[in-house]
Structure 1
Amino acid sequence: METRAHHVLIGFFTLLVVGAALMFALWLGKTDSDKQFRTYDVVFQEAVTGLSKGSTVEFNGIKIGDVSSLRLDPQDPRRVFARVRVDAEAPVRSDTRARLVPAGITGISIIRLSSGDDPASTPLEGEAGQVPVIVATPSPLSKLLADGEDAMLNANQVLLQARELFSAENVASVGRMLHNLEQATGAIAAQRKDLARALKELAGASEQANATLAEAAKLAKATNRLVDERGVQTLQSAENAMAAFERAMAKVDTLLAENRAQLATGVRGAAEIGPALTELQDTLVSVRTIARQLETRPADYLLGNESMKEFKP
Structure 2
Amino acid sequence: METRSNHVLVGAVVLILLVMLALFTVWLARIGGGREKEYDVFFKQAVDGLAKGSPVSFSGVPVGQVEDIALWPKDPQFVRVRLKVKDETPVLLGTTATIVGSFTGVSTITLDGAVRGAPPIACPETNPEQQCPMGVPVIPPKAGGVAALLSSAPQLLERVTTLTERLADVLSDRNQNSIAAILDSTNRLTDALADRGPEIAATLAETRIAIQRAGVASQQIGELAATTNGVLANDIQPTIQQLNRTIASAQKSADTLNEAIGDAKPGLQAFSKQTIPQVNQLVGDLRAMTGALASVAEKVDQGGATALVGRSKLPDYDPKKK
TM-score by length of 1: 0.51
Q: Give the letter aligned to residue 74 of structure 2.
A: Q
Decide which structure has the larger Cα Rg and report it: 2
2:141 corresponds in structure 1 to 137
Taking structure 1 as reference, are residues 108 and 206 closer, same or farther at Cα in structure 2, changes over 3 Å only? same
**Superposed CA offset, 1:207-254 (max 9, x none):** 9xx9xxx9xxxxxxxxxxxxxxxxxxxxxxxxxxxxxxxxxxxxxxxx
2:13 is aligned, of 7, 11, 17, to 17
1:183 maps onto 2:191 in alignment: yes
1:187-222 CA distance string (max 9 Å, x none): 441323663687589789989xx9xxx9xxxxxxxx
Give the aligned residue type for 1:67: V
Query: Does the 8 Å contact 1:101/1:110 carry over to 2?
Result: yes
Distance 2:115 2:189 in 1: 60
Distance 1:122 1:156, change over 3 A: closer
1:140-155 equivalences in 2 (<5 Å): 140-141=144-145, 142-155=147-160
**1:26 aligned residue:** 22
> Does the C-alpha gap of structure 1 residues 69 and 19 become closer, same or farther in structure 2, counting only changes over 3 Å?
same
Of 94, 111, 114, 1:113 maps to 111
CA deviations on 1:51-95 (whole Å, 9 max, x unpaired) are 223433222223344324211222232332223344x47624344
In structure 1, give the amino acid aligned to 2:68.
S
Q: Judging changes above 3 Å, is the alpha-carbon distance between structure 1 residues 22 and 64 closer, same or farther for their aligned structure 2 residues?
A: same
State the distance in 2 between where 1:14 and 1:125 align: 55
- In 1: Cα distance, 2:209 partner to 2:88 partner: 87
| TM-superposed deviation, 1:26 | 1.8
Corresponding residue for residue 43 of structure 2? 45
Looking at structure 2, the residues matched to 206 and 120 of structure 1 have their Cα atoms a distance apart, in angstroms, of 67
What CA deviation, in whole Å up to 9, does each residue of 1:106-154 have, x standing for no partner?
4542101226113254597999xx9743413221454443232122121
Distance in 2 of aligned mates of 1:125 and 1:101: 23
State the identity as a percent.
17
- SS of match in other structure, 1:133: coil
Q: Among 172, 177, 199, which residue is 1:169 paired with? A: 177
Closer, same or farther: CA 187–53 of 1 in aligned 2, 3 Å: same
* Structure 1 position 62 matched with structure 2 position 61: yes
What is the TM-score with the length of structure 2 in the denominator? 0.49
Runs of at least 5 residues in structure 2 that lack an aligned partner in the other structure? 126-133, 219-223, 225-322
**Stretch moving more, 195-204 or 9-18:** 195-204
- The answer (yes or no) to whether the contact 1:92–1:123 under 8 Å persists in 2 is no
RMSD of Structure 2 on Structure 1 (CA): 4.2
Structure 1 spans left out of the alignment, 5+ residues: 215-313
Alpha-carbon deviation of 1:47?
Answer: 1.9
Q: How does 1:90-129 map to 2 (within 5 A)?
A: 91-95=89-93, 97-114=95-112, 116-121=114-119
CA deviation profile, 1:4-51 (whole Å, cap 9, x unmatched) = 45x555444433332322222222222233341635233123123312
* Contact 1:61/1:112, CA 8 A, preserved across alignment: yes
**In the alignment, what sits opposite 1:160?**
165
Paired residues for 1:224-303 under 5 Å: none
Matched residue pairs, number? 204
Quick one: structure 1 residues 72 and 171, their matched pair in 2 at CA, closer, same or farther if it must change by over 3 Å? same
The CA distance in 1 between the partners of 2:56 and 2:120, in whole Å, is 21
Conservation of the 8 A alpha-carbon contact between 1:67 and 1:85: yes
| CA shift in 2, pair 1:90/1:170, >3 Å | farther
2:166 and 2:153 map into 1 onto residues whose CA distance is 20
